[in-house]
Structure 1
């Protein structure tokens, strides 16, 4: 690591620690935070402060959690299985989706039927990515074929805003 990189990393870590300390203090939590080597270390928290911090995090992610729950419910109502749908790092990860479920989702979003033959995974991948974008006003969804599992697509993650637009497109 060069000296410039080391200084930048340490400065960004110290800055992140200072930002976190300020946010914690604004929330009424007096928790120390120091930064070094691209990491931020929190001092020991009292149990009451830990509970308050957990509440603040949940409040901050409430819209994303609510969108994930609504998306799960509407997909279940349509019989679309998304067993790996989760909130991760502030985004809604859709996860594994069987090809027939992905095709049903694409049709619900306005895709035309691909024909009498069962479409292959690549065709469904392309169809879903295209219809998702059109239905959500330009939102993008990464869709890939799971090579290790036949008949399954891997759907990427969306933010809460794109999820709400998807929910709106799927409303009965």
Structure 2
């Protein structure tokens, strides 16, 4: 029998504690007894500023990609009012069917035979064109049941966003 011992991964609280310590920040980190949550004790104001700076530095590339993606979509008249960075990813949010169809065509989707494609058709177009245009990047696309003229686009990482931006450049 070939049993190999794999050490348990460090707990989230110990990871956070180590990262804060490595950054020179003084903050007590504890695991809550109920709810499996990690708590950070109140921070000194200077440590709070430093932590905010470190987070922004760590997300700088994602924030820059989101800003560039917003700008290029606006240049193509594609409205993505819900585009924002959340949890290290770029959430594209809602998009009108016409704008989503324009995006799909810019990504190389074959235009539908009808002049005004419906939401399901556009969802399919994006589902096929997006991975090809971004080198395999995935994007979830769903039709809102209560408002079928709006599609809900999922989130992408900064690398996929940069590939999308390159594809959309004039």
The alignment's TM-score, normalised by the length of structure 1, stands at 0.89
Unmatched tracts of structure 1, length 5 or more:
1-10
Q: What is the count of residue pairs matched by the alignment?
A: 161
CA contact (8 A) 1:15 1:35 kept: no
Post-superposition CA distance 1:134-172 (Å, at most 9, x none): 101111110010111131111110011111110111111
1:41 alignment partner, SS class:
strand
Q: Which residue of 1 aligns with 2:27?
A: 31
Change over 3 Å in CA distance of 1:15–1:122 after alignment to 2: same
CA contact (8 A) 2:110 2:125 kept: no
Unmatched tracts of structure 2, length 5 or more:
1-7
Query: Are residue 137 (structure 1) and residue 135 (structure 2) matched?
Result: yes
Distance 1:15 1:140 in 2: 30
Distance 2:153 2:147 in 1: 14
Q: Which residue of 1 aligns with 2:109?
A: 111
Q: Which residue of 2 aligns with 1:56?
A: 54
Query: Are residue 15 (structure 1) and residue 11 (structure 2) matched?
Result: yes
Q: If each structure's helix is expressed as a fraction of its own residues, which one has the higher value?
A: 1
Q: Which residue of 2 aligns with 1:84?
A: 82
2:11 alignment partner, SS class:
helix
Q: Which residue of 1 aligns with 2:3?
A: none
- Aligned CA-pair RMSD: 1.5
Distance 2:144 2:108 in 1: 24
Q: Which one of 43, 46, 53 corresponds to residue 45 of structure 1?
A: 43
1:114 offset after TM fit, Å?
Answer: 1.0
2:25 alignment partner, SS class:
coil
Q: Which residue of 2 aligns with 1:5?
A: none
1:100 alignment partner, SS class:
helix
Post-superposition CA distance 1:56-102 (Å, at most 9, x none): 00001111101100000000000000000010111111010000000
The alignment's TM-score, normalised by the length of structure 2, stands at 0.90
